[in-house]
Amino acid sequence: MWADNETTEDLIGFRVHADLIAEVVSDPKLLPITLGVFGDWGNGKTSIMKMLQKQLGARDDVAVLYFDAWLFEGYDDAKSALITSVLKELTEHKRFPEALRDDARRLLGRVNWMRLLKMGWDNVALPAVLAYATGGATAVPSLLGVFKGFLTGRPSEGGPAQPDESILSTEKAEGMLKDSSESELGDVRSFRDSFGDLLKKTSFKTLVVLIDDLDRCSPERIVENLEAIKLFLNVENTAFVIGADPRIVRHAVAVRYRDALDAARSSAAPGESGTEAGDQLVQDYVEKLIQVPYHLPRLSPAEIETYMTLLFAQRDLVDADFQICVAACETRRRSNRFGSFGLADVQDALKGKPLPDELKAALSFTAGAAQLVTENLKGNPRQVKRFLNAFVLRRRLAAVAKMQTLRDDVLLKLMLLEYSNEARFRELARWHEAQKQTPREVIDMEAGGEVPKEWSKEALQRWIQMEPRLSGVDLSDYFWLVRDRLATSLVGLSLIPPAVRTAYAALLSETGRKQAATLLKDLRQDEIDGVTALIEKHLQRDPKDAEAYRGYCRCVELQPTTFTAFSRTIRSLPAINLPGWLAGNLELMAKNHPSLKGDVDALREYLGKQTEGRAAKAAHLKRER
């Protein structure tokens, strides 16, 4: 078993990316800079952050600060939370001059004061950020006459304000409020200048702030953190490295500035659609905040084989031998980045030293499984690790249950379907339960016969044809192993990617549905399947939730390929719980997407029969009374 944590130990060959980013943020000619480390959930962003923290932290001329944005999700003001964290970590740095601590505390006091008074931060919007990004001098609006009656002190969590010597006195605060709108307190540029002066007085050539888990935050918090960087902290000799899924960042901007986007869409230029105008505004905004996007690639089959090899070696070898293998793998990567590191390479690295039988069996399995694992788990290292953990657990369970004939390759193939397409895995289980044998649908598909519409996708067809074939295999033991999972399938085995979770949450709220197009259009098919699976589960738990039905209809409107899943879900729910307006929405779907007309008509016919059946039953009961 392997821990699902970030690491500075490079088992996936990503140190090359960390080295490149370290070189960029250390180049004074490129500073200040905000660099986005972009990638899917589980692609290794946090591990790269940890590598950067270790690598740059060893230098005397660089101050490296790590900020987990998600930990501050519940704070009242994300801007001040980020700025306060940066200032505190900077002053606590072992090489921060003692003589400057009073200056830092005064600067921190201004942040506390701004947080207490809210200082118009809630009004720092798109025009301000764009103005600063292009050299403008927009200032935070005047505080004069707005904050009368506020007490000094920093509010504690869930309690009253507490005295804090770093915060201005009431008398001085009132005096400052009487000054013009360009007062030191009310001017963003003044704060930036003070922060920049503080850094110049230190011995650090560069301040590098690593901001992780931004895409786990709410849309409002995401935008607030990015604006805090651009408006308050982005000064000379600073570098901000942000780890996030760019699709969630774009969606956050669309939600935060939905009114501005609605205006942009309604005033689109001739020949430009409203959607294009809105999307362009979002993209422009993101580019102002994050100047350099760096997209992490998915792992290739060779890289996945290497990763699995090192994971099994880590599990089965003593640490000294494992480190020898890691060093040998790194040497191999430098000479051939396209090759894999497998069983023979481990044996060569250890100079023929006998390997544990369990390791040899695992590495033999790894060589044959790498292509399938890569294709079905999208080259995602976190999914690979969690997949292997689940595989090992089920293999142990099979051994305890004395399933002597259970084949690893068959279990692997079934688990790949479970991980890559939950809906089809559930359907396969239902077929098996109904027929008590290898489903005839599977036998027909493997023989090149008729393919059910839901199984016609290219990825599923490749899964069907991959070895081993399931025809003639008794799958009873395999489904017995996952019997406790079929009710919830992947619960406990894999996390929900933030992009999927965000899209699901957006669809279930009236406000979110208006901006859902920004996120849904960028989702891959497997992620869209994940969204529909979440909505289906939600409706099974609460079949009367009108918002969930509206969200599912919006999903079909934006992604017509989800209609098949939508239809299946509707047919599986109690007809009495279906909303009366659903038939009207179906008619609109057919009008907007003519390709769906046949399927929509079939579902409308089904709903009509259900309505007639309920009416007939009600009439019968009335006559009996």
Compute the distance between CA of residue 577 and CA of residue 269 in angstroms, rounded to an integer.
Answer: 44
- Number of CB atoms found within 10 A of residue 312's CB: 24
Compute the distance between CA of residue 378 and CA of residue 549 in angstroms, rounded to an integer.
Answer: 30
What mean pLDDT is predicted for residues 140-163? Answer: 36
Compute the distance between CA of residue 322 and CA of residue 117 in angstroms, rounded to an integer.
Answer: 56
Hey, which CATH number is domain 15-295, 3.40.50.300, 3.30.420.40, 3.90.1150.10, 3.30.530.20? 3.40.50.300
* Predicted confidence (pLDDT) per residue in 434-490, tens digit: 888 889 999 999 998 888 888 888 778 888 888 788 988 888 888 888 765 554 444
Q: State how far Cα 144 lies from the chain centre.
A: 42
Compute the distance between CA of residue 324 and CA of residue 328 in angstroms, rounded to an integer.
Answer: 6
What mean pLDDT is predicted for residues 424-435? Answer: 88
Q: Is the separation of the CB atoms in 220 and 256 below 8 Å?
A: yes
Q: What pLDDT, on a 0 to 100 scale, did the predictor assign at position 616?
A: 59
- Number of CB atoms found within 10 A of residue 595's CB: 11
Q: Is the separation of the CB atoms in 505 and 549 below 8 Å?
A: no
Residue labelled with tokens 């809210």? 118
Of the chain, the percentage scoring pLDDT greater than 90 comes to: 24
**Residues near 359 by Cβ (< 8 Å), separated by ≥ 6?**
312, 313, 315, 316, 317, 346
For 594, what's the count of Cα atoms within 13 Å in the CB-facing half-sphere? Answer: 0
What mean pLDDT is predicted for residues 292-310? Answer: 90
Q: What pLDDT, on a 0 to 100 scale, did the predictor assign at position 20?
A: 93
Higher-scoring residue by pLDDT: 268, 258: 258
* Pure H helices in 273-354: 274-289, 301-316, 319-335, 343-349
Residue labelled with tokens 């996007």? 293
In the predicted model, is pLDDT for residue 539 greater than 90? yes
What 3-state DSSP class applies to 414?
helix
pTM, rounded to two decimals: 0.74
Strand 154-155, strand 161-162: pairing = antiparallel
Extract the runs of DSSP E, i.e. beta strands, from 73-182. Answer: 154-155, 161-162
